[in-house]
Amino acid sequence: MNNSEKNKKISQSKYPLWFYLVLFLIPFLFFILLEIFLRVFNYGRNNDQWINITETKQMLNPDIAGRYFFITKDLPQSNNDAFDIVKRKNAFRVFVMGGSSAQGFPFSPNGNFSRYIRDRLELLFPENYIEVINLGITATNSYTIRDILPGVLEQNPDLILIYAGHNEYYGAFGVGSTENIGNSRDLVNFLIWLNKFKSVELLRNVTNAVMSLFNQDTDMDSNQGGTLMARIVKEQIIPFNSELFNAGIEQFKGNLEDILQMANRAKVPVVIGTLASNLKDQKPFISVGSNSDECADSIYLRAQYQLKLGKISLADSLFRKAKDLDALRFRAPEKINEIIKKLNEKYNCGLVDLDSVFNANSPDRIVGKNLIVDHLHPSLSGYLLMGKIYFEAMNRGSLLPHNEQVEFQDRQLDSIIISNFSFSRLDSVISDIRLLGLLNDWPFTDKPDFSFVKKLKLRDRIDSIAYKIAVENMNWEKGHREAAEYYLSKKDFLNFAKEFQVIVSQYPFKLSDYDYAASQLINVREYDLAYNLLLRRFKESPDAFSSKWLGNINLNRGNIDKAIKYLSVSMKYDNTDAQTFYNLAGAFIHKEDFRNALQSIEKCLSIKPDFPNAQKLKVQLLEILSQ
């Protein structure tokens, strides 16, 4: 065979270009088909960011934490705040983002700073439909905010509030977390994006199943203790200015810059707060260092000594240094606040200097257990203060609704919000038990004592319900309903109303709750207690019942214009209620509008000719009009 024949044979044996192209595309086609197949058959968890809970309402997917936690069991959730699928024309929509402090631990879902802001907005701007949606999730950090922010921006927010930074080391994907998958920020964010695909979820599940075959300890979520805080720590010792320490700082800086860039491009304003933590009353968890200038415990003792001498500024600096030297990175180092301030200035955000405000409102001007219940979570009064100063920043930045504002004195407004805050005794006991659980676990104690729950003294039914919610995972809503029925059985109508105030504050779209609670209170003539429930019902979705009783109560109070307004609305929803027309006639008589009064009473009689006193009133009106 000569050379030309050989070359011809070789040439014929080569595959065409399309063959190699198909060969290259086969793996991609396989995963595309696999993804379609898994989605069609609804494999695994729901990866959508939002889920519809009614025809008109949606909320953050309760399973969304599955994107960020691969090992940890009992995934955390947000407060499940609902908002409209289609934003109303008069809506003012605010999203709150961050970790457990943004969420409101241990007082969540209703004892947080976002509720204060919502209540204040509703008082000042009654013509607006206010939506303040808290998306805070325990043990998450800037990676989570960065991941869900595009979906938040799609919901047409008027404002975003951020309080985050404490979880950069031990939150999901943090450099010291059990969920860490590497310290390359670009790689981690790419993997987070991949986690939205069902095929990746399948691959993860298969990998975990195979690994469990070779690992006798199949409980991969069996770290130091029972709380999520204890279980998520991998690197207990992260010395100040170490490689891991600096990696956490760079992680926060890079992610926060991405977050603010995205919001800036979407022209959505952001208000971000500096971080406060317990400086005075929380000693360092883990102290390392060979000399006194590097030892957190030593610096903390020096801070206490300077505080006793009255040297407040020096003591404050030393407390902060002790916090920075604490090798267990639960409290954000000072560099995190420096980054927040620098990026805030760069992107022209609204800044809430929460750190300074908490100090200013503390004895000796150094924050401690007066406003912080543990190492970093605010007390209920601390959360209310947070809400106030975030609101003030919104006001300074002209970030409030553009409608006319109701005039209140600041102190009066603050007092109204706090005295009517949707937080009951049941919520208080739940919070106490949650906090006890945290403080009886690592790292607050080297010997976690989970038997404390058996030693709790449950004084009454409310304590028992709180125990079931905090310890036995009873549904929060169910617990509050049980508490409400307990109070109703005891004829304690004030606390019955309070429990339903809490329920409708969390689930404003469940209209039957307003109607049930208001009816029970109206039946026992507790009109003042019923009024607020009726008013909230009317604002959420007006109907004949709520508008009728708002009209009746205002008529009895002598608020004639409001009575006419609500009774007239009620007629539009139900023009067959003789009582409504009779009461409307009475309201017109108070205004000396006798013609409209006569029309109303005639309508009443056309519906029910024998309505008590209606015929007599008609005769009187005819006599007046004939004069």
Kindly report, residue by residue over 321-372, the tens digit of the pLDDT: 999 999 999 999 999 999 999 999 999 999 999 999 999 999 999 999 999 9
The CA–CA distances, whole Å, from 148 to 48, 79, 189, 192, 350 equal 10, 15, 11, 10, 21
Q: What is the pLDDT of residues 282-314, one digit of tens each?
A: 999 999 977 878 899 999 999 999 999 999 999
Q: What is the pLDDT of residue 15?
A: 72
Q: Domain containing 112 — which CATH number?
A: 3.40.50.1110
Largest CA distance in the chain: 131
C-alpha distances in Å from residue 287, one per residue of 228, 254, 296:
23, 28, 5
- Quickly count: other Cβ atoms within 10 Å of residue 27's Cβ: 9
- 101 neighbors 378 (Cβ within 8 angstroms): yes
CA angle 246, 249, 250 (to 5 degrees): 90
Query: Which pLDDT score is estimated for 41?
Result: 83
Check: CB of residue 78 under 8 Å from CB of residue 135: yes
Same domain, 179 and 277: yes
**168-191 residue pLDDT tens:** 999 999 999 999 988 999 999 999
CA distance 45 to 49: 12
Q: Once rounded to an integer, what is the mean pLDDT over residues 184-209? A: 86
Confidence of residue 5 (pLDDT cuts 50, 70, 90): low
Structural domain count, the chain: 3
**DSSP letters spanning 345-373:** HHHT-EEE-HHHHHHHTSGGG--STTTBS
Inside any domain, residue 577: no
* Contact indicator for 504, 481 with CB cutoff of 8 Å: no
Q: Residue 610 above 90 pLDDT? A: yes
* The model's pTM: 0.91
Measured from the Cβ of residue 208, the count of other Cβ atoms closer than 10 Å reads 14
Q: Please report whether residue 192 resides in a domain.
A: yes
In a domain, 293, yes or no: yes
Boundary of a domain, candidates 346, 381, 399: 399
Q: Is 62 among the domain residues?
A: yes
The answer to whether 482 and 87 are in contact (CB under 8 A) is no
Of 360, 377, 399, which residue constitutes the final position of a domain? 399
Whether 567 and 589 have beta carbons less than 8 Å apart is answered as no
| Cβ atoms of 59 and 50 closer than 8 Å | yes
Q: What are phi and psi of 624, to 5 degrees?
A: -65, -45
Six-digit token pair at 41? 């058959």
Enclosing H/E stretch for 236: none
Amino acid residing at 336: I
DSSP assignment letter at 276:
-
Confidence band of 215 (pLDDT split at 50, 70, 90): low
* Sheet strands side by side (includes 82-84): 50-52, 57-60, 82-84
Share of the chain above pLDDT 90, in %: 81
Cβ atoms of 168 and 141 closer than 8 Å: yes
Same domain, 94 and 16: no
- The answer on 315 and 378 residing in a single domain is no
What pLDDT band is residue 1 in, cutting at 50, 70 and 90? low
Q: Identify whether 416 is part of a domain.
A: no
Q: Beta strand pairing status for 50-52 and 57-60? A: antiparallel
Asked if the model's pLDDT at residue 216 lies above 60, the reply is no
Give yes or no: residues 176 and 268 share one domain.
yes
SS3 content of the chain, % helix, strand, coil (to 5): 55, 5, 40
| Contact criterion met (CB below 8 Å) for 570 and 548 | yes
List the domain range (segments joined by +) for residue 256: 50-281+330-399
Distance of alpha carbon 500 from the chain centroid: 19
Per-residue model confidence (pLDDT) at position 37: 81
Span of 81-95, 250-264, 434-448, 585-599 with lowest mean pLDDT:
434-448
pLDDT of 393 reads 97
On the question of pLDDT at 9 being above 60, the answer is: no
Helices 296-308 and 312-325: angle between axes, nearest 10 degrees: 160
The band of 556, judged by pLDDT with boundaries at 50, 70 and 90, is very high
Q: Please report, for residues 548, 575, 579, 612, 624, the alpha-carbon distance to residue 597 in angstroms, rounded to integers and kept in the order given.
A: 17, 16, 13, 16, 11
Instruction: Say yes or no: 318 and 343 in one domain.
Output: no
Residue-averaged pLDDT of the chain: 92
Whether 476 shows a pLDDT value over 60: the answer reads: yes
The length of the chain is: 627
Predicted confidence (pLDDT) per residue in 56-107, tens digit: 999 999 999 999 998 887 899 999 999 999 999 999 999 999 999 999 999 9
Q: How far apart are CA 236 and CA 238, in angstroms?
A: 7
Q: How confident is the model at residue 199 (pLDDT cuts 50, 70, 90)?
A: confident
Q: Looking at the structure, do residues 120 and 208 belong to the same domain, yes or no?
A: yes
Percent of the chain topping pLDDT 70: 95
Q: What is the pLDDT of residue 374?
A: 97
- Two tokens, residue 303: 């801070």
Show the tokens assigned to 34: 């696999």
SS3 for 265?
helix
Q: Report residue 200: phi and psi, to 5°.
A: -70, -40
One domain, residues 58 and 28: no
Q: Is residue 381 domain-resident?
A: yes
Picking from 325, 352, 387, the residue at the C-terminal end of a domain is 325
* 241 and 135 co-located in one domain: yes
Give counts: helices (H), strands (E), the chain: 27, 8
pLDDT digit string, tens, across residues 499-513: 999 999 999 999 999
pLDDT of 438 strictly over 60: yes
If asked whether residues 151 and 229 sit together in one domain, one would say: yes
> Mean pLDDT throughout 249-260?
98
CA pair distance 232, 98, nearest whole angstrom: 17
Whether the per-residue pLDDT at 219 is higher than 70: the answer is no
Task: Specify if 299 maps to a domain.
Answer: yes
Q: Are residues 64 and 131 in the same domain?
A: yes
Distance in angstroms (rounded) separating the CA atoms of residues 509 and 131: 12
Q: Give the burial class of 301: count Cβ atoms within 10 A of its Cβ; 0-12 exposed, 13-18 middle, 19 or more buried.
A: middle
Q: Within this chain, do residues 93 and 223 fall inside the same structural domain, yes or no?
A: yes
**pLDDT at residue 236 is higher than 80:** yes
Q: Report yes or no on 373 lying in a domain.
A: yes
Asked if 389 and 321 sit in the same domain, the reply is no
